[in-house]
Structure 1
Amino acid sequence: MGIAGAQQEQGGQDPAQAAVAVLEGIELLRLNLYIASNHSRKVYKVRIGEAAEALRVSPATVRRWEISGKITAERTPGGQRRYDLSALLPDKFSIDSPTRRTVAYARVASHDQSADLERQKQVLELYCAKQGWTFSVVADLGSGMNYHKKGLKQLLRDIIAGDIGRLVIAHKDRLLRFGAELVFAICEAKQVEVVILSHDPGPQDCP
């Protein structure tokens, strides 16, 4: 999107102010990512001791099972083992757990697009219903460069709290025009499945 588009989304804001708003939003998302990656609640990729405790065996048994191929471990960039409890104990640790919700998020830029917002919500509702998911819909009216929308802030809080197991959106730009990848990184850190219905922005995704 060019400077003119940025000005339009920011309600006539000049390019410098728009750039500052984007940078502030990115910093906010980085802070949320830091919180998510260090938040102890409902983190399912754990160290060997925590995996052993969850499985009610000794760490030596976990190592033996890994060597035999019975279970697998991921490696962090620093070479540390991490065990995915959602794979080891899916009945207890799953994104489909009743305590973790499916949320569909819809957004348009202005009140003039309220009809588009309703259509977007209907598409999300139909898709989630066809999958047999129990879900709720969060809808925002506001610029994709606004990182302080009520629905978006609540969505991030719920993801960080571990209350959401699946996020469904029509297109990644429905979250944010810039910075959606950081939201996806938070989702990854919190074991949230992200479902994107279309990778083609289409006319409804502008601005």
Structure 2
Amino acid sequence: MSLELFPFGQAGERTPLGPSAFLLHGFVLPHTAQLQTLIQAITGQSPFRNMLTPGGYTMTVGLTNCGTLGWTTDQHGYCYSPIDPMTGLPWPALPNLFLTIAREAAQTAGFEDFVPDACLINRYVPGARLSLHQDKNERDLSAPIVSVSLGMPAVFLFGGHARSDKTARVPVKHGDVVVWGGEDRLRYHGVMPLTDQPHPLFGSERINFTFRKVR
């Protein structure tokens, strides 16, 4: 896997990562304190958990969901479910602010009328990583992915349509949003292991939530 480094950008700028993929610098900075409060309410109902992959690997990233559907994994495979398997209850509803951010970020990247029905919320601690993968469990692949970053900085890996393709290293900071869809929708992506760079609001954590249209 070869790597190409993207530079940091300033709040309000938009950096293209592909024909239909963009990094929106500082897009949610005006809302971060409110987003933290909403995330705490969501995880109070459906706590973070380190899920088991079909290969028997325990994910280093903690995960929960909100919305009509939630993404889960276990030894049987990956799927979306309306029920949180930990609590036996429906996932918490998508907050209005989440929906507003998802729609406005998608529109800024050129995707109109995006209405997500699932939001995966990931918690990274120092050393946590996400290996290269494609988001392909959704039925509606015409809709983009909208990914919001809060807390500690990270390096987002954005590759091609084959795992062996050249991979860009994209620094993402507190308040940044990455949107990809269209011809870029099934590109491989991941996150490099996090280093401990505590954030004033989130401490030694990175919270990342990604909006999807599943159905």
TM-score with structure 1 setting the length: 0.25
Higher-strand-fraction structure:
2
Greater CA radius of gyration, 1 or 2?
Answer: 1
